[in-house]
Each structure stands twice: as structure tokens, then as C-alpha cells.
Amino acid sequence: MKKILRLFLPGSFEDAQLYMGHLMVFTTERDTRLLELEALTSRLEAQYPQWQGVLRLAFARNDWLTSGVTKSLAQNPLFASALNVAFDQVANTQIALDDGDFALQPLHNFKQDADVILDTVVYAQRLYLGTTAGLYDYDIDWQELSVGAQRRRIDARCVSATAEYGAINASCEDEGLFTGYDEFGWQGLRNEATLIRTAERSVRAAWLGTDLVNYESPTTPELLSASVEAVTTDGGAADWKRKVVTRFSRPTRELDDLVTELCVQRKVDPPDVQFVWNSSRAFFINTHSHGFFSAVRASERDIRFTRHGAADGRVIAVHRYSGGWVIETDFRAYVLARGHLIELLDEEPLSVRAFEGSKRYKRIIAITVETGVHLISIIDTF
Amino acid sequence: MNATPHTDGLSFGPTASSKMYLAMYQHRGHDPSKSCWSPDVPPPMEYSIFERADDEQHSDPDGHYWGVRDAAGAALGTAGERLAKFPFNALETVPWHGYPVSPASGRPSETPPDSLIEGFIDAGVVSRTFGRKLQRRKA
């Protein structure tokens, strides 16, 4: 059973991210502003007694939900029951803030030259903006809440970006897919500003382990196999071991059998396939009239499909959070839980963000709408 | 609104700028390879979408007109398309026609330029949410 908790912050925003203790909002005034989440939730807990002890766990410190202390306490049915009651009391309700309830802080020195933000990524303390004028990056000093000079990494219209394993990938439609390897010099061999063209066409890309799936069209995935090196970077008291992608192979069409097999096994006409997406381990395929499926490759020749149901309208994106998948359709957002779709939002999202890889925000979905940002926390039963 | 039957569709017009319009049967299910208007967008509504695009000059630099059903981008195609394209027609003797398109399809020909969408948002032709999703190729 999922407990869904909601916090709404009004404003005129284009997108929102959660990173390093802050909600980052990208405003319609081409500015980026910040809100410190622990301070906000502490203040709100005093204001809303029913939410006391819950708000911070839900919206600022998801890591505490799975900490040793909480897990240990929840093994005792009395404690587990008390936690469930506390969360159930506020589940499916919302705290809707007014403008005066919070103050956004500036991200100093931030300057957005491009007209329109198309995508945002925050990775390794660096902000990447995919825009109508190209891909920009900004190194953020989280102590000073300021950015260094923006760099325009590529001038092709960048509709989508994805970062992991020290690399950034910029999807620039007909201009192609462009990759920057070892962006942070972890491997120590190169740290150049130039991006390399790694595929001829790209509408988006997603990681499949350390490999990359490039989507030449919304239903045409191609595989870029990665060469990876394990590196140790200086993390102060403890060194960090990381995987760094050093090169992608040329794109191959070995994933074509995903759609082909679905059509054979489930008797779907190829034009009925509407949208394909992948997480690190599985694929998601939506169809116009046969519902949507997950697909897992059991062996080289064996792809197993599971039908989960049907989304209301076209699927335009899928996002992974620690509890499963968030499915974004034309006019709604849902969480897929045990084969069932639970509606998260009954209005059209402008952007949906999930934070599977983060420490503190694994269970939060940030959904920007025309009038503000919904922070939605999805908590499992203790 | 009077429509005249024609071998290829229903003919409407002229618009205020003297354009004739043909609601073509091939975009009403007669040709499965073509995108298809939704049944709840009957030919007179299809024409009114074109007429508004013509009246308000919703055209791109190539002369194509683009239209929407409403500011929120209600679906107008059977595959969930929320945008209509009326390709440029230089011949006055030939009627215009149009069909549902989707920037989310990834096809460049189904994508209006950013500047046109910005103008749509500023003029309230589309909501900011719908406009941004067109620009982000998510509509």
C-alpha cells in the first residue's frame, strides 16, 4: 500500500529539481532559485501539528526512512503500526503553501541566455540545461549558492540530456546525439569541452547499465555499448570508486527485436507501438490499443513481456524512482505499483522529475505545473 | 457552415482570405497510412480550426499553417495528436487541407518552429504547459 503525501509550492516555473538539500526551480523569468528543504519542512512541522515528524521524512530526508534505526524500529509491530498511523493521517492530503510561506533564494551569478529550457539535469554538482540554443553547463558552488560562468557546450537545439558514469549525452534530434566523456576528469585522461557525435539522430537517450540506449525515434531504440573503466577518485577521508564511461561503440540495431518480439508474442501491429523507454534493467513499451508492457531479456533469444494495464492516453515519458515507475501521459501522471496505476496528478504536468539515484529524495516526485510545483512523496507501508 | 461534397472529401469556404478547404476522406480513415482526425472533430470543426489559423495567420516561414482545438491542446487525432498541420498550398485553384500531427512522433515535418509556439503562448492560443510540451517534443 502506497501512502501519497503532497506539498504544493506556487510559482511560475518551467521545471524543478531536487539536489543537495534544495528544491531548484527554473523560473519563467529565466532565473534559477533555491529553497532549502530541511528548513522548510521543520518550519512547516511547527505550523501543521498533524504532519509533525512526517514532513521532514517525506520531503527532506527519505534516507531516514530506510536507515538502520527506522528499519529496526519498524520490525516491532507496535512501532510499525504507529508509523503507519502517523503517515496514514496525512496521506492523500496536501499542504498548499502561499507565496508568503516560503522565500526562494537566488542562485548567484546564474544567467540563462537561451530562450527556452527544454531539459534540465543536475549531476556531480553541475547543472546542465538543454535549451533551444544548445546545451549549457554551470558548476554550482553549494556552499555559496553560486554558479561559475556558463559554458555553451553545443549550439544544436538540445531536446533532452542524460548524465551518468562521468558522461553527458545531449539529444539534438536531426543534429544527432552528442557525448562528453569523463566530464569531471575522474579518469584523468581528458576533460575537454567538446562533445563528440555518437549517433546520427536522437530524440532522447537512457542508460541500460553502463550502456546507452539512444532513441532515434520514440519507438526505435539503438544500443551504444560502453567501454568502462573503474577509477578511484579523491573523496577526502574515503576514496570513491566510480565507473567512468570512456567510449561508446557505434549504434547497433540489436534492440529491434524488442518491438518485433512484442508484435509476434502479443499480436500487436507494429504501428500500434507508441512509445518505448528503458530503465537500467528493463524496457517499457506502450501501445495505442493493447496497453503497456514491461520487457526483460531473460537470455539473448528470450524476451519476456508482462502486460500491466492501459494508460489513459499516450505515454510521453517514464521516470524511475526507488519504488517503481512513474508514468507521464499527455494529461496525467501515475505511479505503477504492483501492476496498478495510481493517479498522482489530475492535471497536465509541465515536467516530471524523479530522483532514483539521489540519497535524500528517492521517494519524491517533483511535478511542475503551470501554477507551481507539486512535491509528491510516495511512502510504502512500514 | 455549408459543406459541398467532393470526390476526395467535403469542401468548405472560402475563408476571409478567399481560401477554399477540403476535409479529406483520406484523413478520415480511408487511407490507413495517413493520420486521422478524431470522430469528435467532425469536418466543420476541422474547417473552423483551419479558418482560425488563416484568420490569425498561424503560419511558419514555409507558409504552413498550424492549428489547435483549444488552448489546453485537446486531442484532435485518433492517435492522440493535439496539433493540426495545414501544409502550404501555393495554388489558388487547389483547396487547402490538413491533418493531425505530433511533435512527439520525432518527425521534423510534424514540428512547428519554436518562434511560432512562443507566439502562440504569448497570444494565449496555447497554454504555457501545452506550448512547452510541443517544444519539448512531448505532445
Q: Residue A174: its chain B contacts at CB < 8 A?
A: 108
**A86 and A114 inside one domain:** no
User: What is the side-by-side order of every strand in the sheet holding A105-106?
Assistant: A13-19, A22-27, A32-36, A105-106
User: Residues 78..137 of B with a Cβ closer than 8 Å to A: which?
Assistant: 79-80, 82, 104-108, 114, 118, 127-130, 132-133, 135-137
Nearest to A345 by CA among A354, A336, A326, A332: A332
Query: Which helix (DSSP H) or strand (DSSP E) does residue A277 occupy?
Result: strand A273-278
pLDDT category, A176, cuts 50, 70, 90?
Answer: very high
Q: Would residue A220 count as lying in a domain?
A: yes
**A241 and A229 inside one domain:** yes
- Give the nearest partner residue to B80 out of A217, A314, A328, using CB atoms: A314
Q: Would residue A54 count as lying in a domain?
A: yes
pLDDT tens digits, A270-300? 999 999 999 999 999 999 999 999 999 888 7
- Give the nearest partner residue to A203 out of B129, B135, B137, using CB atoms: B137
Q: What mean pLDDT comes out for the span A303-322?
A: 93
- Give the nearest partner residue to B129 out of A215, A328, A370, using CB atoms: A370
**A87 and A137 inside one domain:** no
Q: What mean pLDDT comes out for the span A69-79?
A: 96
**A165 and A175 inside one domain:** yes
For residue A376, list its beta bridge partners: A6, A365
**A114 and A200 inside one domain:** yes
Is the CB of B135 less than 8 angstroms away from the CB of A132? yes
**A119 and A229 inside one domain:** yes
Picking from A252, A267, A290, the residue at the C-terminal end of a domain is A252
State the distance between the two ends of chain B, measured CA to CA, in whole angstroms. Answer: 30
Q: Would residue A291 count as lying in a domain?
A: no
pLDDT category, A312, cuts 50, 70, 90?
Answer: confident
- Please give the residue of chain A at the shortest CA–CA distance from B105: A218
List of residues 6+ apart from A188 with CB closer than 8 A: A182, A231
pLDDT category, A339, cuts 50, 70, 90?
Answer: confident
Nearest-angstrom CA–CA distance, B84 and A181:
40
pLDDT tens digits, A13-71? 999 999 999 999 999 999 999 999 999 999 999 999 999 999 999 999 999 999 999 99
Q: What is the CA radius of gyration of chain B?
A: 14
**A41 and A119 inside one domain:** no
pLDDT of residue A29: 96
Picking from A223, A252, A281, the residue at the C-terminal end of a domain is A252
Q: Would residue A308 count as lying in a domain?
A: no
Q: Would residue A310 count as lying in a domain?
A: no
Q: Residue B129: its chain A contacts at CB < 8 A?
A: 348-350, 369-370
CATH number at residue A135: 2.130.10.10
Picking from A234, A252, A270, the residue at the C-terminal end of a domain is A252
Return the domain boundaries, chain B: 4-135
Domains identified in chain A, total number: 2
Beta-carbon-side half-sphere exposure of residue A196 (alpha carbons within 13 Å): 14
pLDDT tens digits, B16-37? 999 999 999 999 999 999 999 9
**A62 and A30 inside one domain:** yes
Residue A381 pLDDT > 80: yes
Helices (H), chain A: 37-47, 55-59, 62-65, 68-74, 77-90, 256-266
**A169 and A100 inside one domain:** no
Asked if the interface predicted TM-score (ipTM) of this complex is over 0.85, the answer is: yes
pLDDT of residue A190: 63
Average confidence score pLDDT of chain A: 95
**A40 and A97 inside one domain:** yes
Print the domain residue range for A160. 107-252
Q: Would residue A318 count as lying in a domain?
A: no
Bridging pattern class, strands A126-131 and A134-141 = antiparallel
Nearest to A374 by CA among A339, A330, A343: A343
**A186 and A126 inside one domain:** yes
Q: What is the CA radius of gyration of chain A?
A: 21
Q: What is the DSSP letter of A104?
A: P
- Give the nearest partner residue to B138 out of A28, A216, A316, using CB atoms: A316
User: Residues 349..378 of A with a Cβ closer than 8 Å to B: which?
Assistant: 349-350, 369-370
pLDDT category, A313, cuts 50, 70, 90?
Answer: confident
DSSP letters, chain B, are ---EEETTEEEE---TT---EEEEGGGTTT-TTS--B-TTS-HHHHHHHHHHHHHTT-B-TTS-EEE-SSTT----BTT---EEEE-----TTS-B--EEE-GGG--GGG---HHHHHHHHHHTSS-HHHHHHHHTT--
Q: How far is CA A293 from the centre of its chain?
A: 20
List of residues 6+ apart from A295 with CB closer than 8 A: A258, A261, A262, A282, A283, A284, A285, A303, A304, A305, A306
Q: Would residue A85 count as lying in a domain?
A: yes
**A63 and A133 inside one domain:** no
Q: Would residue A113 count as lying in a domain?
A: yes
